[in-house]
Amino acid sequence: MYIICCDLEGVLVPEVWINVARWTGIDELKLTTRDINDYNALMKRRLEILRQHSITINDIQKVIALLELMPGALDFINWLHGRVQMVVVSDTFREFADPLLEKMGWPVLFCHHLTINKEGEITDYNLRQSDAKMKVVEALQNLNYKVIAIGDSYNDVQMLRKAELGVLFQPPQNVVDDNRDLLVVNSYLGLKKIVSEKLEEG
């Protein structure tokens, strides 16, 4: 039996931090795991920038509330219903995700969470566990599931390699160049085809 482990940002919804960068005008916040493969270094820098510019969780949540799913994402999610279950596996934070999950019909989400003080300042980030995406795949495999994993960035690579089938969806060229062994798909139509073929194999 198969199950889908799908990344959130860059696969189903736009990158949150890129949109925060646009709203604030702070270009450095545009950097994501598509650009930097050291997630901890990236998050520490992000929190420092937020502190310097007095940007609160409320500011970020206002930006997120305006985001829509990527064109074709909801159709893909609905297409999966009745065929195979999907779990969203992300390095986002629970405090960011709810407005986006609502638009997707509230799928199961495995992610991290933030430490926020009474003024709404994000003071720290808390990883659910190290290598969290890959460990979700391992746990599901230990329950006798086969996993199709979909991601777009450096922080998805371990998950994709651990799965029975790992797919890079619309990745930037630098991620492709560094991971030539992984399958690349550039449309939801292509994802449907790959998933259908794998499910038919059993």
Domain for residue 109, yes or no?
yes
**In sequence order, which ranges of the chain are alpha helices (DSSP H)?**
16-24, 39-52, 57-65, 73-80, 94-103, 132-142, 157-162, 173-178, 188-201
Domain for residue 106, yes or no?
yes
Domain for residue 37, yes or no?
no
CA end-to-end span of the chain: 7
For residue 107, the enclosing domain spans: 2-13+70-113+128-201
Domain for residue 118, yes or no?
no
pLDDT of residue 41: 86
Quick check: 160 and 180 in contact, CB under 8 A? no
What is the CATH classification number for the domain harbouring 77? 3.40.50.1000
Q: How many domains does the chain have?
A: 1
Domain for residue 190, yes or no?
yes
- Is residue 7 part of the annotated active site? The answer reads yes
C-beta neighbour count of 182 within 10 angstroms: 18
- Is residue 119 part of the annotated active site? The answer reads no
Domain for residue 39, yes or no?
no
pLDDT of residue 123: 94
**Catalytic residue (choose from 7, 15, 152, 156):** 7
Structure tokens at 17: 């931090």
The pTM for the full model equals 0.89
Return averaged pLDDT per consecutive 10 residues of the chain, 202 residues in all. Answer: 96 92 89 78 90 93 92 96 94 91 93 95 91 96 98 94 97 94 96 95 79
pLDDT of residue 28: 86
Structure tokens at 31: 């950097």
